[in-house]
Amino acid sequence: MSATSHPSLPAALRRSGPDRAWADRTWRRWTAAWLGGTVLAIANGVARETLYAGRVGDLAAHQISTATFVAMFAAYFAALERRWPIATTRRALEIGATWVLLTVVFEFGFGHWVDGKSWSELAANYDLTTGHVFLLVLLWVGIAPAVVRALRRA
């Protein structure tokens, strides 16, 4: 009996064929393309810190960079969708969920161990009550593959 057909495994792990996201070539390509997204994110952060954070203040700079980040990712997702079209809305949402997970891990890992920020300082970026709107980035990253897929088919 193969490991993927073993009855004690959760159903999602027993599935075989195209339903498994990691078995899909498009999912793998989009997941690898997440690395290009990190380059965009770092460039966006560097631009924020060097071009306008000192003039507008940290909170306004955070909000502006969130808007530019969403716009940059809209263009990047549209380019990826043209290059590697996503077959189904379900697959697009799985890709988005993968990107959200990778983004949060990167945001906290890079922010803490490379940039030297505390965990509470990093978590503050997700606090909408203080005007920090990074959750909008995560929301966009999660749904954007499905949105650009739908727009391309419209």
Q: What angle do CA 53, 108, 144 make, to 5 degrees?
A: 80
- Residue 69 has a CB neighbour count (10 Å cut-off) of 22
d(CA 26, CA 87): 8
**Contact predicate 149/89, CB 8 Å:** yes
How do residues 44-56 score in pLDDT, each as one tens digit? Answer: 999 999 999 999 9
- Residue 36 tokens read as 């290009």
Q: What is the pLDDT along the chain (154 residues), one digit of tens a residue?
A: 444 555 554 555 455 555 566 668 999 999 999 999 999 999 999 999 999 999 999 999 999 999 999 999 999 999 999 999 999 999 999 999 999 999 999 989 989 999 899 999 999 989 999 999 999 999 999 999 999 999 999 8
Report the candidate in 50, 24, 40, 62 with the shortest Cα–Cα distance to residue 141.
Answer: 40
DSSP secondary-structure letter at 75?
A: H
